[in-house]
């Protein structure tokens, strides 16, 4: 016996926000490489590479690789000089948590029996 598909399965839903197709043809690869170079050059400080990130999203939108969105709503609501001043003010406040030795996930408590929340049965 073969089962028949349920009604409504033929409806195609758009991807969830933040999910978009891969750039198989490399239309925006040059901008992506600029972002990676910028991050490496600036010790992975994304605020210093924000203008390139904006160009990358603009490239994806103009090539139909993601839905067109108002970039102000995606966190690009400031001028490049404002991002630099944000970074400078953070540096003036002192060390970041990471510079003080913070390691993500180490604060997670263990369950009874000594298992952490990420210790799934195998």
Greatest alpha-carbon span in the chain: 70
| CA pair distance 81, 86, nearest whole angstrom | 9
Render pLDDT for 61-98 as a digit per residue (tens, 0 to 9): 898 888 888 998 888 877 766 766 776 776 666 656 66
| pTM flag (> 0.75) | no
| CA pair distance 54, 39, nearest whole angstrom | 14
Q: Tokens 């991807």, residue? A: 15
| CA pair distance 42, 29, nearest whole angstrom | 20
């Amino acid at each position: 016996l073969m089962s028949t598909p349920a009604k409504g399965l033929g409806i195609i839903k758009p991807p969830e926000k933040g999910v978009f197709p891969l750039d198989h043809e490399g239309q925006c690869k040059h901008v992506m490489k600029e972002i990676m170079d910028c991050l490496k050059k600036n010790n992975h400080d994304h605020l210093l590479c924000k203008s390139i990130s904006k160009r990358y999203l603009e490239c994806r939108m103009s090539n139909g690789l993601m839905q067109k969105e108002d970039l102000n709503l995606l966190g690009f609501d400031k001028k490049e000089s404002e991002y630099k001043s944000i970074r400078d003010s953070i540096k003036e406040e002192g060390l970041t948590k990471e510079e003080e030795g913070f390691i993500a996930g180490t604060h997670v408590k263990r369950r009874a029996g000594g298992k952490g929340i990420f210790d799934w049965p195998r």
